[in-house]
Structure 1
Amino acid sequence: GTADVRYDGEGGLTDTEGNVVNAFWSSGGNESTYELRTDWADEVGPDNALPEYPRPQLTRDDWQNLNGRWQFAAAEAGEQPPVGKNLKERILVPYPVESQLSGIQRHEDRMWYRRTFTVPRDWHIGSAQRLKLNFGAVDWQSEVYVNGTKVADHKGGYDKFSADVTDALKPGRTQELIVGVYDPTDAANGENPPLGKQRLDPSGIWYTPSSGIWQTVWMEPVARDHVDSLKLTPHVDGAASTLTVEPKGVRDGVRVRATAYVGHRKVATVSGRTGEPLTLKIRDPRLWSPDDPFLYDLKVTVGHDRVESYFGMRSIAVEKVNGVPRTMLNGKPTFLMATLDQGFWPDGLHTAPTDEALAYDLRLHKQLGFNSVRKHIKVEPDRWFYWADRLGLMVWQDMPAMTAGKNPSTAARAEYEREMKEMIDEHVSHPSIVMWVTFNEGWGQYDIGRVAAQAKSWDPTRLVNNQSGLNLGADGGAGDIMDEHGYPSPALPPSPDGERALVTGEYGGLGLAVPGHAWSVQQSYVDVDPQTYTDDYLTKLDEVRALVCRGSNGAVYTQISDVEGELNGLTTYDRKVLKPDVERVRAAQEALIHDASQPTPAGCTA
């Protein structure tokens, strides 16, 4: 490519002999090999690619990580799996094929992954112990083979899947694993899957795709009767509070025992059999909140299967206070101050380079005084929700949108709802999640009210937002929230129904480019003077405060980090430069949350 170099003559530059350099504009060939990346990327290699346990809310002692260097090849439709064949390229799993960290850094619609693995002898895999192969997420359609035997088919780029591969194992130590992937992204002749912000031709608000394996691959030994997941539902009612425990994925009638702990101290225990919910009595619970994100430990035994977990006790609802619909956390009005968090990385795209990086953006929310985060049309790995649970952030979880501007087919609609149910079911036990957002700005919208009501029926314990950005999409009249978008100034729906709580689902977007820390293509909504950036941010925050007296329950600032061509982040895309004055922003936001969370918000008349 080419590069333009411009200098206005005002920077005090001199040459080596002390002569003043005047203004100039020059262009020429660009031979730079520099790529924007985070410091965490330098820590990543084949032996430590996301080594952490990937499923914090359902842990077992024995497991083996299969991340690392795999063989790789582009594929064609209809190809047979390359059983017993070495593939020419190498890819670092679990980083998307388009990412720097993968080592491939190009898009493929179809691809093969291949590696071998050995099963530890002390796992005693056979009739009693089974070998389970787990995938955190593969975008979008995948087929899995062990020693040439197909063990799994899966559609869905944001949800996990597993396979019992015991019967496909062969005598001896070395086993072959092959994964075939098809990901049309937004191709004109594709299936229009849920894809969020991914585009084959990224620009503006659309970004580079994240195809293929993008979350941890791992295996574990399990008992024949074993739990796939735990549905943990808190019921907060003072001394009568309870936690309902439902082991999923196991046949009915198996003995089950669940015990809750605070540290090493037992606080409740219950026994029963699978197929019926168990109820733990949690007397006078310590409630989970952003100010005190307290988590109980949980041990569950199902037959011979022993797993550990955790839970938080909290409630979320919309109730009227002085006639105004309010968002209520643990029975108290609570203002939700969030950022739009898109979860993209310059080096790993959808995949954070390390677990420390994954937690960083959430820690930054807390540092800046936010109590909430809107995870924007992407579903993160389980460990992201674990960090939100631990750090204390209320999560608005978006359903990843289908392609904007395209009327989805009957098949695409069915797939959208199937993947939405998977999203809800898989993350239903996280105390941090307080809201499901079923559509955004009308992208791929259809049957808005019905889809929101469907989400509410799947999870009646959380808020449902039927359309974030009612001014840009239709209102289905369903759910608990009315949500307006405004740039740069915050806005509220102009015609509230008096039943649903009002929020500003997006606002702000103040753009500030930091030279040396920006993607090569640049776009921002509003350009800001670096000297006045914090002042400008706080001016918009004052506008958020003014809307509280009109019934606002929350606001989402766009956004926590720059993303590719968008420069409106509070931090740069490489997470190396924080733009605002942290202390001033935190103090202002904590004051806003405090004042706006009163039964009669401070400064407002009842």
Structure 2
Amino acid sequence: MTAPVTPALPLSQDARKRMTLDGLWQFKFEGEADWRSISVPSVWQSEFADLRDAFGTASYRRQFFLPQEWAEREISLHFGAVNYFAEVSVNGQPIGNHEGGYLPFSLTIPNSILKPENEIEVSVTLPSADATRYPQFPFAEIPHGKQSWYGPLGGIWQSVRLEARDTSHIKHAEVRADLSSGAVRFDLDLSASAAGAEVRVAVYGPDGALQAAAKGSGRTLSVVVPEVKAWSPDAPQLYRADISLSVADAIVDTTSVTFGFRTIETRGGQLFLNGAPLYMRAALDQDYYPEGICTPPSLEFLEDQARKAKALGLNTLRIHIKVPDPRYYDVADRIGLLIWTEIPNVQTFSDASARRMRETMQGIVRRDGHHPSIIAWTIINEDWGTRIVENADHRQWLAETYDWLKTLDPSRLVSDNSACFPNFHVKSDLNDYHYYRSIPERREEWDDITRQFAEGAAWTYSGLGDAQWRGEEPLIVSEFGVWGLPDPSKLLLQDGSEPFWMETGATWGDGVAYPHGVQKRFRALHLDTVFKDFGSFIEAAQWYQFANLKYEIEVMRAHPKIVGYVITEFTDVHWEANGLLDINRNPRVFHDDFASINSDIVVIARPNAWSAYAGELLEVDLSVATGGASIPDGATIRWTYGQDGERALPETGANAVASVGIVPMQMPETDVNRMLRIELEVLSNGRRLATNVLDIALYAKRNRANLPSIASKDPALRAFAETLGYPVSEPGKAEVNLAHALDESDIEAMHHGARYFVIADGSVPTHRNLRKDIPAGEKLYREMTIDERDMPVGIDQQLPGIGLIAREGTLWRGDWIANFSWIRRKGAFASLPGGPLLDLSFEKVVPHHVMTGFRTFEYAGPVHGGLVIGWVHKPAVTIAERRVGRGNLVATTFRLASVPAGTDPVAAALFDAMIATVNQSK
């Protein structure tokens, strides 16, 4: 029963005593004879270089003195989390074990084995994938999350403490708070001997004042808090409940739990927090740390990163397939961040792994259910561990697990499978989907996929007849983004050495994820002739990342049916360099600018082109997305770039787009190519609601005087050059020959001094090089056989010795791991605005092919444009010149002829620069 409000009893000073066991323990890995010291909490992979990739069993031990005043009390040992299987002994006597790497457990130490001085020993097993050695729990069938990506994590990785308590005690308190009524229900898990004991609860408000109290003798208590203050990211109002257990009017145990009043729900395709529209501005957080890997270094560290998240404009973090240290949620509650949390995935679906995932989820809800910051759960990420595309049983299990979890915790949203191509949802509160495309390389694809998604694409749900799709699930792009690169100098250890992870990643992305030696590769490719120095390259890579995120966010915000997104990711994780912060939580160069595009109200400026000639009219489609905010009556949007303009905005509610329409902007006159920045702002009663910028590559009008003569066997190329103002002549008489590909006659002409410009855009079939024929001299070679197999021909062997490879289907395609494409701004290319990395102004001509066959020394001069992937790997070429006999060749994969001649300033400027380069060569 529940009694009326009464004051709490004074707390007994000896209700429960605690002793931390964090600190140095002795440690010995299997097969080792000697003990060594290890810090607890930590994983052995972070402590010992020789165990960085070690699976197996380790032993921990340490001593403790039992305080005299703890005599006659029940002594229990509490572990925050141990990965994966723990067996615990005290003074040589086993006291229990625990399976599961992410959740807390406690064991009672029998008083009969305790002494004044005691020794704890913990055997910890992290199983490998060898099912013959670990038949009970092979790695593939346990929840392990990203350990399969960044390396194993074994050991006592969360805090350990010793407690002295009464046999009558509170084991756990579950809190359910109702925002509409102020009612709070406490469901208590009490020890067996606490049956019939009196329980009291006192609830204190955000200001520390007593709000409500109750007492009773059962396992359920309820109170009503008057004038409830809702918890939200903008106002993280927290309440505290002090719960006491008393026997014979004496308090024998106490505990406290914090909670908040908030609701999260979906209606009509939108998210609502506390009844108000919510636009989710999130980042994926893998919860990895510089030195402790999975163990956060301190509470202050967690607080600092949370403040940085909010400074970036984030209102949500998606904890990626991992269960964090509970302090993570404490910080989110206090500072005000929404959290979306996931079950760590398995690799192989079986009855045992399915049971473990549900047990883990049940433990997560039990441990973390009181946190108002947590608003959503994910059961499966990207079909990892399940095979829902092909297995109907897995789809049924997923739908059933959704129902089970909604029953277990009806206060939060559930995503059944946070999906990506080619998997999907079966039954979910959220229609969330992942896709990655880089800009400018895949701009059109990003636009198209986003449009399809916003229009309710059928591919987001099972098409196999078993989808339970209501059609009004909120649309969230729950993973997107692209790599930048951190500054390696900010990642070094105190002694100046590299962190261990700089030599990991070689098995990911065909080797492009390997960080070690990045500066050496930068120098070897002579990129210091492209960028001022290595630091300038890193800065450019980070601005490239910002430009990608900016564009993609603006495209999503233009579709009001999309009500949220999750950026990949909050921080870099080891070799994975796509964070808004690096792994040490150092900000990117764009840190202070990011909130302007990552906020509720966002200005969207969509020009008909990102390049323009001086004096032209540029048409810009202007609109403003509101997110969880609104635009009041009388607001205006203003732009300035030397010529100012302003238009009224319609009054607009939340999660909508206020359209301004097409605004013609007169481009200023200029004699020098340059980047033009158009600044935009939304104003209401003198208050600035939003700002943004639009960068346009502004080109001076072309000078058509004294252009060299052009010859081409291709009528379309002749017409293209002629339209650009080049005089057209006959082959053999022209100064420059123009082609899409070469044959033997072209090579012969170059031997005698001819100059060629090849637009190798893939429009003419070749032999994966620049040749559309096969030299007669290769005939005998091609007819040779070994074991009846044709011998291959190197794609860079035929003159001019340049291979041509389509980017589609390769890492040069440019998606998640960035392709850093550059043009050296020297010589004829010096007048190109921006750079050296490509920006949106190149989107109409961006190459779909790359060239190979160039040695590193050639990057110092003959290579004028190229790209590297990730940590400066897999160099390829997009513009280069090469001597052939007495002649000269300039070749490019830029699609200069893919747009009508003269309509795109970038295409024309590149064409002019390459003609000038080949014509000037001697």
Question: What is the TM-score with the length of structure 1 in the denominator?
Answer: 0.80
Kindly state the Cα deviation for residue 106 of structure 1 after the two structures are TM-superposed: 5.3
2:253 to 296, 305, 314: 305
Q: Is 1:410 aligned to 2:365, yes or no?
A: no
SS at structure 2 position matched to 1:401: coil
Distance 1:296 1:103 in 2: 47
2:580 to 555, 570, 576: 570
Q: Is 1:494 aligned to 2:437, yes or no?
A: no
SS at structure 1 position matched to 2:354: helix
Kindly state the Cα deviation for residue 87 of structure 1 after the two structures are TM-superposed: 5.1
SS at structure 2 position matched to 1:365: helix
Distance 1:101 1:308 in 2: 37
Q: Is 1:536 aligned to 2:567, yes or no?
A: no
Q: Deviations over 1:12-54 (max 9, x none)?
A: xxxxxxxxxxxxxxxxxxxxxxxxxxxxxxxxxxxxxxxxxxx
256 and 442 in structure 1: CA distance in 2 versus 1, 3 angstrom threshold: same
Distance 1:163 1:331 in 2: 43
Q: Is 1:314 aligned to 2:262, yes or no?
A: yes
Report what 1:207 is aligned to. Answer: 150
Q: Is the 8 A contact 1:481 1:501 kept in 2?
A: yes
Q: Give the letter for the 2:242 counterpart.
A: K
Q: Is 1:66 aligned to 2:25, yes or no?
A: no
Kindly state the Cα deviation for residue 451 of structure 1 after the two structures are TM-superposed: 1.4
1:180 to 117, 120, 123: 123
102 and 297 in structure 1: CA distance in 2 versus 1, 3 angstrom threshold: farther
Kindly state the Cα deviation for residue 581 of structure 1 after the two structures are TM-superposed: 2.4
Question: What is the TM-score with the length of structure 2 in the denominator?
Answer: 0.53
1:266 to 193, 197, 210: 210
Kindly state the Cα deviation for residue 556 of structure 1 after the two structures are TM-superposed: 0.5
1:338 to 277, 282, 286: 282
Distance 2:410 2:237 in 1: 23
Report what 2:101 is aligned to. Answer: 157
Q: Give the letter for the 2:434 counterpart.
A: H
Kindly state the Cα deviation for residue 313 of structure 1 after the two structures are TM-superposed: 0.9
Report what 1:453 is aligned to. Answer: 403
Report what 2:657 is aligned to. Answer: 603
186 and 573 in structure 1: CA distance in 2 versus 1, 3 angstrom threshold: farther
SS at structure 1 position matched to 2:227: coil
Kindly state the Cα deviation for residue 582 of structure 1 after the two structures are TM-superposed: 2.6
Kindly state the Cα deviation for residue 353 of structure 1 after the two structures are TM-superposed: 2.1
Kindly state the Cα deviation for residue 245 of structure 1 after the two structures are TM-superposed: 1.2
Distance 2:151 2:303 in 1: 22
Report what 1:436 is aligned to. Answer: 377
Q: Give the letter for the 1:218 counterpart.
A: R
436 and 185 in structure 1: CA distance in 2 versus 1, 3 angstrom threshold: farther
Kindly state the Cα deviation for residue 255 of structure 1 after the two structures are TM-superposed: 1.3
Report what 1:198 is aligned to. Answer: 147
Q: Is 1:585 aligned to 2:594, yes or no?
A: yes
Kindly state the Cα deviation for residue 318 of structure 1 after the two structures are TM-superposed: 1.2
Report what 2:45 is aligned to. Answer: 98
Query: How do 1:536-555 residues align onto structure 2 when only pairs under 5 Å count?
Result: 536-547=548-559, 549=560, 551-555=561-565
Structural RMSD (CA): 2.6
216 and 102 in structure 1: CA distance in 2 versus 1, 3 angstrom threshold: farther
Q: Give the letter for the 1:247 counterpart.
A: L
Query: How do 1:278-289 residues align onto structure 2 when only pairs under 5 Å count?
Result: 278-289=221-232
Q: Give the letter for the 2:430 counterpart.
A: I
102 and 288 in structure 1: CA distance in 2 versus 1, 3 angstrom threshold: farther
Q: Is 1:427 aligned to 2:368, yes or no?
A: yes
Q: Deviations over 1:507-552 (max 9, x none)?
A: 1133324233463346569x973444433332222123123x1x22
186 and 236 in structure 1: CA distance in 2 versus 1, 3 angstrom threshold: farther
107 and 227 in structure 1: CA distance in 2 versus 1, 3 angstrom threshold: same
Distance 1:319 1:60 in 2: 47
Q: Is the 8 A contact 2:16 2:164 kept in 1?
A: no
Report what 2:503 is aligned to. Answer: 520
Distance 2:584 2:48 in 1: 14
93 and 60 in structure 1: CA distance in 2 versus 1, 3 angstrom threshold: farther
Report what 2:417 is aligned to. Answer: 467
What stretches of structure 2 of length at least 5 have no aligned partner? 1-13, 133-137, 247-251, 387-393, 438-445, 461-469, 492-501, 506-511, 515-537, 603-624, 630-652, 660-922
Q: Give the letter for the 1:310 counterpart.
A: T
Kindly state the Cα deviation for residue 600 of structure 1 after the two structures are TM-superposed: 4.4
Report what 2:178 is aligned to. Answer: 235
Q: Is 1:374 aligned to 2:318, yes or no?
A: yes
Q: Is the 8 A contact 2:542 2:590 kept in 1?
A: no
Kindly state the Cα deviation for residue 151 of structure 1 after the two structures are TM-superposed: 1.4
Kindly state the Cα deviation for residue 131 of structure 1 after the two structures are TM-superposed: 1.2
What stretches of structure 1 of length at least 5 have no aligned partner? 1-58, 77-81, 200-205
Identity %: 28
Report what 1:170 is aligned to. Answer: 114
Distance 1:168 1:369 in 2: 56
Kindly state the Cα deviation for residue 60 of structure 1 after the two structures are TM-superposed: 7.9
Q: Is the 8 A contact 1:464 1:479 kept in 2?
A: yes
Structure showing the higher helix proportion among its residues: 2
Q: Is 1:109 aligned to 2:118, yes or no?
A: no
587 and 166 in structure 1: CA distance in 2 versus 1, 3 angstrom threshold: farther
Q: Give the letter for the 2:483 counterpart.
A: L
Q: Is the 8 A contact 2:175 2:184 kept in 1?
A: yes
Query: How do 1:319-398 residues align onto structure 2 when only pairs under 5 Å count?
Result: 319-320=267-268, 325-398=269-342
Distance 1:580 1:149 in 2: 56
Report what 1:10 is aligned to. Answer: none
Distance 2:159 2:81 in 1: 7
Considering Cα pairs closer than 8 Å and 6+ residues apart, tell me whether 1 or 2 has the greater RCO: 1
Report what 2:693 is aligned to. Answer: none
Q: Is 1:483 aligned to 2:432, yes or no?
A: yes
Q: Is the 8 A contact 1:185 1:198 kept in 2?
A: no
Q: Deviations over 1:205-224 (max 9, x none)?
A: x1022111100011111121
Q: Is the 8 A contact 1:508 1:558 kept in 2?
A: yes
Report what 1:13 is aligned to. Answer: none
Distance 2:53 2:356 in 1: 27
75 and 269 in structure 1: CA distance in 2 versus 1, 3 angstrom threshold: same
Q: Is the 8 A contact 1:442 1:472 kept in 2?
A: no
Comparing 487-496 and 382-391, the one that deviates more: 487-496
Q: Is the 8 A contact 2:570 2:580 kept in 1?
A: yes
Report what 1:36 is aligned to. Answer: none
Kindly state the Cα deviation for residue 374 of structure 1 after the two structures are TM-superposed: 0.1
Report what 2:478 is aligned to. Answer: 505
Comparing 159-168 and 243-252, the one that deviates more: 243-252
2:196 to 237, 248, 253: 253
Distance 1:168 1:474 in 2: 56
Comparing 552-561 and 410-419, the one that deviates more: 410-419
Report what 1:33 is aligned to. Answer: none
Aligned pairs, how many?
514
Comparing 511-520 and 254-263, the one that deviates more: 511-520
Q: Give the letter for the 1:438 counterpart.
A: I
